[in-house]
Every structure is written in C-alpha cells, then in structure tokens.
Amino acid sequence: MFTGIVTDQGTILNLHQEGDLRARIATTYDVGHIDIGASIACDGVCLTVVALGQSHEESIHGWFDVQISAETVGATNLSGWHLGQVLNLERALRLGDELGGHIVSGHVDGVAQVIASKPEGDSLRVTFDAPKALAKFIAPKGSVSLNGTSLTVNEVSGVSFGVNLIAHTRAVTNWGRVKKGDLVNLEIDTVARYVSRLREWD
C-alpha cells in the first residue's frame, strides 16, 4: 500500500529479459534498510525487490533490482522504459506513517496519454486522455494516481481530464520532464472503484 507521495527519483541503470523483464534502478534510499521482497512503487507500479547493492559511483548511492512479468508490462507504460529514464519511487506505507496523498495500491488500471500542457501561473496544467473504460471513475476534485503521484482532478470532459502540477511537485518528481504524447500509468481511486461495484447491485 502506498500514498502517492513520491520520496525519491530513481534512474534505470539496466534492463534485460530473462524470462521476465529485470530492471536495475539507482536510488538515494539507504539500501541497507530495504529487505529482499520489499515492495517499491516505480512510476506507480508496485514491484518486488529481488536484489540490492551499493554503488561505487559517487553519483549513485545504491541500486535495487525488480522483476516484471509480461502481464505487468502489457498493462502499464513499462514497455517504453529505457536506460537513463527517471522514475518516481515510493516505498510501501508503514503503520504510523502519514497518509499525505490518498490510498494507492500500486496496481495500475491502465495507461493515460498526455494530450496538452500549458503554464498557469507557477503551475503547469496537464490534460490527459484516459481509456474509455476507466474515464467513468474519474471525477472533478477526486483523486488519481499518475506515474505514482497522488493528484487532484481539476476538470473532466468525456475521456479527458486535467490536473495542476505545482512547482514543488515538478521539482521532486519526474513530472518536470512531462511532454505531449507521454504515456503515464493511471490508477483510479479505490473508493470510486468500490462505489461503482456496489451500484451494480442496487
């Protein structure tokens, strides 16, 4: 379980196929305090740590490896991952941690596409197209997780919706690199999912 509050920006050091896709990600987390089998959200995808190590490079504190199934690759933007790409990272929520965003499972529902972005004061307004099957779960003033970042929806029109990215968010996440055409991992709000399911039984 996660909150959608990004706590590190990782960099992809290596990608290779060995049955499943395996990725090595540089991090500033203290890898001495990460267990094998721990869950880390990588651009919003909950992945399991299968190896850890310290780096000899001054610019890299440490690294962790994750294995990614073909099903996960097919349901997310991971098929577009490349060496040097910067990822939003969040470690799993621990009992007693502050819930600063909203409840995020790390189970991505689909991929949204950036269709427009424009400055609004110090913020950046970004508009996305969501998959049609997921658009009904997105509501104004509701929450969504995009690339693992908890964001508030500003407006909705059909399958399109917009969010505001403040300067702080762009500075501490990979949203400072956003551009039109980008594909981002979308997880709808868990509450919206259950409300919709309950209505099916009315």
How does pLDDT run across 135-166, given as a tens digit for each residue?
999 999 999 999 999 999 999 999 999 999 99
Looking at domain 8-91, which of 2.40.160.210, 1.10.8.60, 3.30.450.20, 2.40.30.20 is its CATH number? 2.40.30.20
pLDDT of residue 198: 62
Distance CA 39, CA 144 (A): 20
C-beta separation of 152 from 169 below 8 A: no
Cross-strand pairs, 16: 22
Looking at domain 110-199, which of 3.20.20.120, 2.60.260.20, 2.40.40.20, 2.40.30.20 is its CATH number? 2.40.30.20
pLDDT of residue 194: 61
pLDDT of residue 159: 97
pLDDT exceeds cutoff 80 at 197: no
Percent over 90 (pLDDT), the chain? 81
Condensed to tens digits (0 to 9), the pLDDT of residues 67-100 reads 999 999 999 999 999 999 999 999 998 766 666 6
Distance CA 183, CA 80 (A): 9
pLDDT of residue 146: 98
Provide the pLDDT confidence category of residue 202 given band limits of 50, 70 and 90.
low
Topology agreement, domain 8-91 and domain 110-199: yes
Provide the pLDDT confidence category of residue 179 given band limits of 50, 70 and 90.
very high
pLDDT of residue 4: 92
pTM value?
Answer: 0.91
Spell out the domain ranges in the chain.
Answer: 8-91, 110-199
Tokens 């399958």, located at residue:
159
Q: Are strands 110-120 and 183-188 parallel, antiparallel or unpaired?
A: antiparallel
Rounded average pLDDT over 180-202 = 79
Helices and strands counted in the chain (H then E): 4, 12
Average pLDDT over the chain, rounded to an integer: 91
